[in-house]
């Protein structure tokens, strides 16, 4: 499988990978301009840009790029290893390393009225949308148009049906606390970026207590956001969906959720003309 075919697989699975590309060479070097290598978060590689100490250093840098998301150009010489060079070929090489991060995945679990609205708006916002429901008739393109993936499964089976990583946002718009109590323990063991549960404070207090009784630690339970969303006094499914997705965008982008309105200093001090 070629590099670009492998990238397509990574995107379909919602994963991340770094790509190292040789962008300049001079003199004798192990690989020429245009050579590429993929570096996965676990350190695995596919392809090569020359092997040896060069690749070891590039892999180390690539893993850092996957963490901070900042691309970089790396310069290497092949002259004197005792002075820190990567080889003795005699040439020079520049390698561009970038993180390839597919769209964040938002999983709507429970495809009722609110779930359908969340899926629709999330797709419009550019998320890769997965719709999951244990009722087969609900997790379909006919019931929820526009999603990327449809899964008919129990809540607790979800990690077996799809890859859940640090770019996955789980939105539980389920039909009752019993569903959440049965399925949440497995989800709490995943590295999901966000786990939100719809419902009232009382519903979540009941759910949390039952999870404690099942032996789930308070630390794990604290990962859950419930009730989820930003307070908008939302009523309709669409308004509730906006509230939920506003919170997710805020968390993903490092926002505060505060109003952005600003009163000019001149007005505060009574200096209006």
Same domain, 65 and 149: no
Conformational region of residue 85, where left means phi above 0, alpha means psi within -120 to 50, and beta covers everything else: beta
What is the pairing mode between strands 224-225 and 72-77? unpaired
Is 123 inside a domain boundary? yes
Same domain, 223 and 91: no
Same domain, 163 and 43: no
The arithmetic mean of pLDDT across residues 67-81, rounded, is: 87
pLDDT band at 166 (very low <50, low <70, confident <90, very high): confident
Q: Which domain holds residue 28?
A: 3-100
Using alpha carbons, select from 140, 132, 139, 129 the residue that is nearest to residue 106.
Answer: 129
pLDDT band at 121 (very low <50, low <70, confident <90, very high): very high
pLDDT band at 267 (very low <50, low <70, confident <90, very high): low
Give pLDDT, residue 271.
56
| Highest mean pLDDT: which range of 5-19, 52-66, 234-248, 250-264 | 234-248
The alpha carbon torsion through 188, 190, 191, 192 (nearest 10 deg) reads: -70
Same domain, 234 and 110: yes
- Examine the pLDDT at 114 and tell me if it is beyond 60: yes
Give pLDDT, residue 2.
82
Same domain, 25 and 54: yes
Is 264 inside a domain boundary? no
Is 241 inside a domain boundary? yes
Is 273 inside a domain boundary? no
Q: Is 181 helix (H, G, I), strand (E, B) or coil?
A: helix
Name the average pLDDT for the chain.
91
Q: Which of 57, 72, 100 is the last residue of a domain?
A: 100
Same domain, 235 and 118: yes
Residue-wise pLDDT for 252-266, tens only, equals 888 998 888 877 666
pLDDT band at 272 (very low <50, low <70, confident <90, very high): low
pLDDT band at 53 (very low <50, low <70, confident <90, very high): confident
The arithmetic mean of pLDDT across residues 200-224, rounded, is: 95
Same domain, 40 and 174: no
Is 266 inside a domain boundary? no
Split into its structural domains, the chain has a count of 2
Same domain, 188 and 165: yes
Is 263 inside a domain boundary? no
- Helix (H), strand (E) at residue 196: strand 194-197
Residue-wise pLDDT for 215-226, tens only, equals 999 999 999 999
Same domain, 189 and 138: yes
Same domain, 225 and 202: yes
Q: Count of CB atoms within 10 A of residue 61's CB?
A: 17
Q: What's the CATH code of the domain at 117?
A: 3.40.50.720
What are the CA-CA distances from residue 95 to residues 11, 57, 71, 98, 203 (Å)?
23, 11, 11, 10, 53
Q: Which of 100, 133, 161 is the last residue of a domain?
A: 100
Same domain, 139 and 229: yes
The arithmetic mean of pLDDT across residues 85-104, rounded, is: 85
Same domain, 118 and 202: yes
Residue-wise pLDDT for 1-35, tens only, equals 688 888 888 877 777 899 999 999 998 888 899 99
């Amino acid at each position: 499988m070629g590099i670009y075919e492998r990238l397509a697989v990574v995107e379909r699975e919602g994963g991340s990978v770094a790509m190292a590309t040789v962008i300049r060479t001079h003199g004798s070097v192990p690989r020429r301009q245009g050579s590429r290598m993929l570096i996965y978060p676990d350190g695995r590689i596919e392809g090569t840009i020359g092997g040896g100490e060069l690749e070891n250093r590039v892999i180390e840098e690539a893993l850092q790029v996957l963490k901070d998301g900042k691309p970089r150009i790396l310069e290497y010489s092949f002259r004197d290893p005792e002075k820190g060079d990567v080889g003795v070929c005699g040439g020079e090489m520049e390698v561009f390393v970038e993180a390839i991060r597919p769209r964040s995945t938002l999983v709507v679990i429970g495809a009722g009225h609110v779930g359908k609205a969340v899926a629709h708006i999330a797709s419009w916002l550019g998320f890769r949308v997965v719709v999951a429901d244990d009722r087969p008739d609900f997790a379909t393109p006919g019931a929820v148009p526009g999603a990327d993936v449809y899964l008919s499964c129990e809540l607790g089976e979800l990690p077996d049906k799809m890859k859940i990583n640090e770019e996955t946002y789980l939105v539980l718009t389920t039909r009752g606390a019993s569903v959440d109590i049965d399925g949440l323990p497995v989800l709490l063991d995943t590295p999901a970026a966000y786990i939100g549960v719809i419902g009232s404070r009382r519903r979540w207090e009941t759910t949390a207590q039952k999870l404690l009784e099942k032996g789930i630690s308070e630390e794990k339970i604290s990962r859950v956001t419930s009730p989820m969303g930003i307070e908008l006094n939302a009523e309709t499914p669409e308004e509730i969906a906006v509230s939920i997705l506003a919170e997710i965008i805020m968390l993903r982008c490092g926002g505060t959720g505060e109003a952005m309105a600003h009163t000019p200093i001149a007005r505060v001090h009574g200096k209006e003309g």
